[in-house]
Amino acid sequence: MPDTENSLLIRLSMAMLIVSAGVAFIALPFVTPDLAITLAGALLLVAVLLVVFFRHIYQSRLRELRALSSSLAERTQALELRTGELKRAQVVANIGSWVSNLAANKITMSLQTCHILGLEPCQPVTHEEYLAMVHPDDRAGVKHAWQLALNRQDFDDEHRLMVHNRVRWIRQIAELDFDDSNHAVSAVGTTQDITELKLTQLALKASEERYRTLIEWSPEAILVHRAGKILYVNPAAIRLFGASYAQILLDTPTAALIHPAALAEQLDRMKSLYNHETIQPMVESQFLRLDGSVIDVEVQGTAIDYDDELAIHVVVHDITQRKKMESQVRRLAFYDALTQLPNRRLLTERLNHALATCRRSGNFGAVMFLDLDNFKPLNDHFGHSMGDLLLVEAARRLKACMREMDTVARFGGDEFVVVVEELAAERSNAERLALQLAEKVRTALSEPYVLKKPNAAGLTQSVTHRCTTSIGVAMIARNEDSPDDLVKWADAAMYQAKNSGRNRAKFFSERNPLTAQFSE
């Protein structure tokens, strides 16, 4: 009780004693009537004063009580408001709170904690009762974490609970209070339902594991590199680059796996990917195996976040065999299978190129049409296989007479066409050079052919055969001549050479009467 209230009671008691004493004194025998009247008046006055005084005191105290009651109501309302806000905040965040009296083994929980744990509101539980709710596979971990907390370590544990026969993931965080003897006496903590977050994390982990499995089992070579260093390779990449195990590739600089001729292009692509620039998704390139052998590849790269940093994810598809097959198909389509010389289809392309070159440079070129003389008797006497041997040798000699820039093609049977570019700017000089080249070819093809092949008995059959050639020449001018016209004119000139006695060369007479004739 406050001191003011004690003082008031003491004063009240003393006043009552004084009035009582005055009343008793008046009643004494020796008190005269006049004195008694006087004393009674005095006592009445004291009584009135006391009533006024105590009424004033009562009203003052009543005002104080009302003010106190109003303040208490405001504080109670504020507390209720804050309590409501706390409850709403816990509901929104799906976080509850609890207080544990360790000595009494009693855990008192907030409404939200009870809701999370599936308990009736305001139903305290013991430590053992809580552990019974924990998933059996997580129970030992919770016990261990709590034991560490009792030894003054942090308690922050994620585990599963069985709530109405459903698994819920819970995160518990607690702070313990200790007495002077270092014994834990109480704990305050929070309970958070992290089921949705955990399920998302588990789904993401499962997705990552599936993706890694797909990557690991992918037949395509996959690498991740950053700043010239390889960070990851899958088994297909290990096989593609000829490594024994992954670490060998991880220790190899990225540039060492790229063919020098393709390095600049690949570095530009990497730079563009780092800068998030749009590039062609997939390109053909050439890479190197660890043994230095070249592989043709299709390569596709993209920028990814790898270990919280930007890196390049590369998919490499080996197209070496496809390129070989394409080369073979092209060779079959554009090259003669017997002599490996360009065929008539490729000849047309080369003639178009020669025409464009002559128009651009202003120089003359030449087309030579060759037909082997005395070839048919070889086939008739020794068979086509022996004739094929002669054609192969003739093709070899013919190529040996030409420059690298010139084209030697097999036109069909024992006929060949030669395209000679960039002879001279003056027509007379170009014709002279063309005749010199024709003489060189005629001489080379006129040498005896020593042909050998195994016979049915397993012995080698050797045949020596002489075979000359008739050559027709048409000049490639700076006009709009067509490839077909040039071949037609050279063919006509070749027949003029045949009709003139063979083993000679002639220019196409309608274009230029200049001829050259050689004796056999």
DSSP 443-511: HHHHS-EEEEEE-TTSPEEEEEE---EEEEEEEE-SS---HHHHHHHHHHHHHHHHHTTSS-EEE-TTT
Q: How far apart are CA 12 and CA 17, in angstroms?
A: 9
**Fold of the domain built from segment(s) 226-322:** Beta-Lactamase (3.30.450)
Domain boundaries, the chain: 3-56, 94-200, 226-322, 335-516
Q: Check: CB of residue 321 under 8 Å from CB of residue 295.
A: no
List 266's β-bridge partners, or say none: none
- CATH T-level assignment (fold) for domain 335-516: Alpha-Beta Plaits (3.30.70)
* Chain centre distance of CA 243: 23
Superfamily of chain region 94-200: PAS domain (3.30.450.20)
Q: For position 81, what pLDDT does the model report?
A: 57
pLDDT in tens, 260-314: 999 999 999 999 998 989 889 899 999 999 999 999 999 999 998 888 899 999 9
AA identity, residue 317: H
Copy the structure tokens of residue 275.
Answer: 């800068």
Distance of CA 445 to the CA centre of its chain: 62
Q: Rounded to an integer, what distance in angstroms lies between the CA atom of residue 125 and that of residue 163?
A: 15
User: Quick one: pLDDT at residue 247?
Assistant: 95
Q: Residue 80's pLDDT is what?
A: 52
CA distance 173 to 158: 9
Residue 317: is it exposed, middle or buried by C-beta count within 10 angstroms (0-12/13-18/19+)?
middle
Q: What is the pLDDT of residue 216?
A: 85
- Output the CA torsion sign for 66, 71, 72, 74: positive
* pLDDT number for residue 69: 62
User: What b/e readout covers 94-122, taking b as 16+ CB neighbours within 10 angstroms?
Assistant: bbbbbebebeeeebebbbbbbbbbebeee
What is the Cα–Cα distance from 272 to 253, expressed in whole angstroms?
19
Angle at 113 between CA 111 and CA 117, to 5 degrees: 115
Q: How far apart are CA 100 and CA 104, in angstroms?
A: 8
For the chain, the distance separating the N- and C-terminal CA atoms, rounded to the nearest angstrom, is 150
Q: What is the DSSP string of 130-196?
A: HHHHB-HHHHHHHHHHHHHHHTT--EEEEEEEEETTEEEEEEEEEEEEE-TTS-EEEEEEEEEE-HH
**Residue 301's pLDDT is what?**
92
Task: Quote the pLDDT of residue 24.
Answer: 59
Burial status of residue 127 (CB atoms within 10 A of its CB: 0-12, 13-18, 19 or more): middle
**Which tokens hold the place of 186?**
């109480």
Asked if the domains 226-322 and 335-516 are classified in one and the same CATH topology, the answer is no
Distance between CA atoms of residues 274 and 453, nearest Å: 63
CA-to-CA distance for 210 and 383, rounded, in angstroms? 66
pTM comes to: 0.52
> pLDDT below 50 — which residues of the chain?
1, 86, 511-520
- The amino acid at 192: Q
